Structure 1
Amino acid sequence: MRIRIIKLRKTVMRITAGLVLAMIPLLIQGCTKTGNAEEPLPSQLPAAQKPVVQTVTPTPSEDAAAIGITAENYPRIDGSTSTLPLVQRIYKRMFLHVDGGGDGWPGLPQQASKTMRSYEMLIAGDVDLILVPDPSQEIRQMAESSGTELEYIPIGAEALVFVTHKDNIVNNITASQVQRIYSDMSVTDWSELGGQKGRIVPICRNADSGSQAQLENLVLMGRTINPAIEDNYMERDMNGILEMVEDYRYFAREGEESAYSLGYSLYYYIQISESVNGRRDIKALSYNGIAPTPETIVSKEYPLAINYYAVVRKDLPADHPARKIADWLVTTSGQWEVAISGLGALKTLYESP
């Protein structure tokens, strides 16, 4: 219940902030109109007097020219929340910086459609290339039902990790324990995992999230999340689940000093989030006795190691620009962009190309 209150407070604050921001243009417009009642609105000006909006065509870089990428044939690229920095870095490598205001890259992607939606758009033919982790069973079935074959090109290393508050003395969790916590809820106390006696508060993600897909693929093995968890402890945002794991420690029920929440996310997304927001009071647990590290993830020693993929439709022509970008991403230059964007590179990189 307290987690619901926390989320409700955050939602109210976001809505209030949104309303204030939405009113600003109206207030400015009102001030402009009352300032000079005789001045015509822009829409009332003759065509010759209307301001001309100039579009800037980005200039391809040497990297782009080397693989045949131009402003006209640049592919439609989308992906998960965690790959947006990489999508942006690709664009910046393919085009030269433009002086004269703005961020210097007109047309730079500003948001991601997220994992599930990106797969849906690729299957529908609305995008050419997506950068995402492994698909859920639902996505695989959707592609099969539509008669669409997808091609997966590994471009980065990633892993599903389970997280709890750093003060929790538990450092390891097993596949069986996760299944019993999240599916049938037969494990409810941290003492059953070797910790102090205290309630386990399992936080889950929404069904169409990338990390949820990995939980289903790698751990639950056909089991489903218990409805009681989905109804009371579901978080729709990647950053939000980390906040819930961190904050619940301070909003536990009275007398629950040893109650900690349990959540899951993607290893490199946590690194990206903490590089932006600062270190959190959370820690990643070992899984079946193996700690998640860059080394154990890229070597696949960590049991929940996965990949990020550049995914295209299999019927995409061999010379399509989307394939050229995907192929470039596995080169040393491309792998540097993968690493700099905060994801795990597939190869050891000693010096910048």
Structure 2
Amino acid sequence: MGTAKKIGAIALLIGAFAGFDLAIYGFFTKRCIDTSSEEMKCYSVELHRYMPFEEGSEAVKADTELRLSGDLPVLDGAAALYPVFSGVVNSVYPEDCVHFENGEFTADSALHYTNTIGAYKAVADGDADIIFCAKPNDEQLAYAEEKGAELEMVPIGREAFVFIVNERNPVDGLTSEQVRDIFSGGIKSWSEVGGEHLPIEALSRNKGSGSQTTMDKFMAGREQKQSPFGIFGRSIGYSFRYYAENMTDGGVKLLALDGAYPDREHIADGSYPLASSFYAIYRRDNDNEQVPVLIDWLLSDEGQSLVEQAGYVPID
């Protein structure tokens, strides 16, 4: 083989290994940054897609006669649940309550978006009345206790925690133990789980995010480790189902876990092993009289219909 051909063959080989999953990278790796940063606000969710009261918005609207006015509860929450709480505002709040300037909600807006970490801080500090999130981690609970905030957590819907790969990855499902082995470094190649002879890049999320808190619990004490050779193979990441399916640019697929695919049916019947509730959370000492009104509405048939319209699974 001539020198030029050898160089070409080597270049192709390097390109094949270096061409790891750009879809996962774009969806996932870019988001492994501080959720309070301007980059995170930009990347986490396209806020304009679900902006209340705007023409062409994807924010859902419940069929209800409830209309809140006066001292409106300030809402905040996780990126994965933004379609729910933006839909609440779109359904029962007055149109002049949302203020958005220079790419973010202003301090006087009834709708905020600071993601999980910021939302738990906001409710503990009294800057938000109700937040929409998965369960807090120990640090978030400790911060609330430090602030004298006893949190009331009301389940209002169900969602699935999912594992994500590039749509070209031939692996369609894993067992829970395989996933733990992958993320703790015990399984390093996709060939060990029925895939290609390529390294696995197991990506992690930023500490304190809803997805990372859930992943920490799933790992049951096992430390997440990344292979130095992972960037030459195929990636695997994790998030929540709705976020992965509806709030990304595509190019990814969700994996079945322990034989169950994370669709609405398997979330509702409990056969998908990582289905869990999400919550409307507020301080028990919050004296805003509209807070219990809104919580009761969220638990009503109308509120649960909104949860379903937004793409999530209502509570039983």
* Shared fold, TM over 0.5: yes
Distance apart, 1:271 and its partner CA: 2.8
Letter in 2 for 1:332: D
Q: Where in structure 1 are there 5+ consecutive unaligned residues?
A: 19-60, 234-251, 254-258, 348-353
For residue 260 of structure 1, the aligned residue among 234, 240, 247 is 234
Deviation at 1:111, TM superposition (A): 4.9
Provide the residue aligned with 2:200 in structure 1. 200
Q: Which of 255, 258, 261 is the matching residue for 1:285?
A: 255
In the alignment, which residue of structure 1 is the partner of 2:313? 344
Label 1:109 to 1:85 Cα distance change in 2 as closer, same or farther (>3 A): farther
Distance 1:223 1:130, change over 3 A: same
1:235-260 superposed Cα distances (whole Å, 9 cap, x missing partner): xxxxxxxxxxxxxxxxx74xxxxx32
Larger radius of gyration: 1
Distance 1:334 1:271 in 2: 23
Cα distance in 1 between the residues matched to 2:72 and 2:112: 17
For the residue of structure 2 that corresponds to 1:118, the secondary structure is helix
1: CA distance between counterparts of 2:282 and 2:110?
A: 19
What is the CA-CA distance between 1:79 and the residue it aligns to? 0.7
Matches within 5 A, 1:1-353: 63-65=65-67, 69-70=68-69, 72-95=70-93, 111-183=112-184, 185-217=185-217, 219-226=218-225, 228=226, 253=232, 259-273=233-247, 277=249, 280-317=250-287, 320-346=289-315
- C-alpha distance in structure 2 between counterparts of 1:310 and 1:187, whole Å: 38
CA distance in 2, matches of 1:74, 1:110: 10
Q: Secondary structure at the match of 2:246?
A: helix
2:65 is paired with a residue whose SS is helix
Residue 96 (structure 1) shift: 5.2
Does the aligned pair in 1 maintain the 2:73–2:110 contact within 8 Å?
no
Asked if the contact 1:312/1:323 (under 8 Å) is kept, the reply is no
Inter-partner Cα distance in structure 2 for 1:139 and 1:232: 34
TM superposition score normalised by structure 1: 0.63
What is the TM-score of this pair, normalised by structure 2?
0.70
Counterpart CA distance in 2 for 1:211 and 1:295 is 22
Query: Given that residues 174 and 287 in structure 1 are in contact (C-alpha distance below 8 angstroms), is that contact kept between their aligned partners in structure 2?
Result: yes
Q: Against the structure 1 CA distance between its residues 111 and 129, is the aligned structure 2 distance closer, same or farther, given a 3 Å change threshold?
A: closer
Q: Which amino acid aligns with 2:131?
A: I
Query: Once the two structures are superposed, what CA deviation does each residue of 1:212-232 show, in whole Å capped at 9, x if it has no partner?
Result: 111112x11123332x46x99
Q: After TM superposition, give the deviation of residue 115 of structure 1 in Å.
A: 0.6
- The alpha-carbon distance between structure 1 residues 232 and 131, as it changes in their structure 2 partners (threshold 3 A), is farther
Cα 1:314/1:110, change in 2 over 3 Å: closer
Q: Classify 1:119/1:192 alpha carbon distance in 2 versus 1 (closer, same or farther; 3 Å).
A: same
| 1:303 to 1:203, Cα distance in 2 relative to 1, 3 A | same
Whole-Å Cα distance in 2 between the matches of residues 81 and 327 of structure 1? 23
Moved more, 146-155 or 186-195: 146-155
What SS does structure 2 have at the residue aligned with 1:119? Answer: helix
Shift of 1:187: 1.1
Deviation, 1:186, is 2.0
- Greater Cα offset, 73-82 or 108-117: 108-117
CA distance in 1, matches of 2:223, 2:125: 28
Task: Look up the SS of the partner of 2:181 in the other structure.
Answer: helix
Distance in 2 of aligned mates of 1:339 and 1:324 = 20
Q: Which runs of 5 or more structure 2 residues have no equivalent in the other structure?
A: 1-17, 32-37, 43-62, 101-105
Residue 147 (structure 1) shift: 4.2
CA distance, structure 2, for counterparts of residue 90 and residue 152 of structure 1: 17
Amino acid aligned to 1:197: H
Assess if the C-alpha contact under 8 Å between 1:272 and 1:342 holds in 2.
no
Give the stretch that moved more between structures: 288-297 or 86-95.
86-95
Aligned length: 257
Alpha-carbon offset, residue 299 of structure 1: 2.3
**2:77/2:133 contact within 8 Å kept:** yes
For 1:113 and 1:283, how far apart are their aligned partners in 2? 27
**Structure 1 stretch 201-210 or stretch 319-328: which is displaced more?**
319-328
- Distance in 1 (CA, whole Å) between partners of 2:150 and 2:221 is 23
